[in-house]
Amino acid sequence: AKTLSGRLPEAVELIIYENFAIATAPEPTSSSGYGRFTYRNGGLTGPDDGTAICTKTFRIKDIDFSVLPKLVREAPGLAEKPDSRITHVILSRGVFCKDVGWFVYVTDGSKSGMVEFKPDGKLKNVTAY
């Protein structure tokens, strides 16, 4: 997170996969005003043109990334899918541009769910679909 916050102090969304992450952040050189940056193996590439549903940024250095392993461990059980796997985690303000939160996506192959946590790791909501 230090490397990311050094190059991108603010973002509107951070999508975390098992081996890489994609951040969408304000980018003056992009025609949309937003760029997508890929963080992989300690390096940051981009920007590619990006878009943002919610344009309100958050400061990456203010996020406590140490809670993430706990959220990933707890999400399958909270979603009542104990044998499921995590597909990805999104850190954003969501589609309604509210408070920043963690959105952990789980699937067991046939059914999926999303577990939403507050930035400090406290449970906020569970959605099955």
Taking only the tens place, the pLDDT of each residue in 1-58 is 555 656 788 999 999 999 999 999 999 999 999 999 999 998 889 999 999 999 999 9
Instruction: Report residue 115 as tokens.
Output: 């577990």
pLDDT at residue 3, as a whole number: 59
Q: Are strands 101-107 and 10-11 parallel, antiparallel or unpaired?
A: unpaired
80 or 125, which is more confident: 125
- Cα separation, 95 vs 92, in Å, equals 9
- Cα separation, 1 vs 53, in Å, equals 23
In sequence order, the 6+-apart residues with CB closer than 8 A to the CB of 68 are 16, 89, 102
What single-letter amino acid sits at 112?
S
Reported as a single tens digit per residue, the pLDDT across 53-107 is 999 999 999 999 999 999 999 999 999 888 899 999 999 999 899 999 999 999 9
pTM across the whole model:
0.91
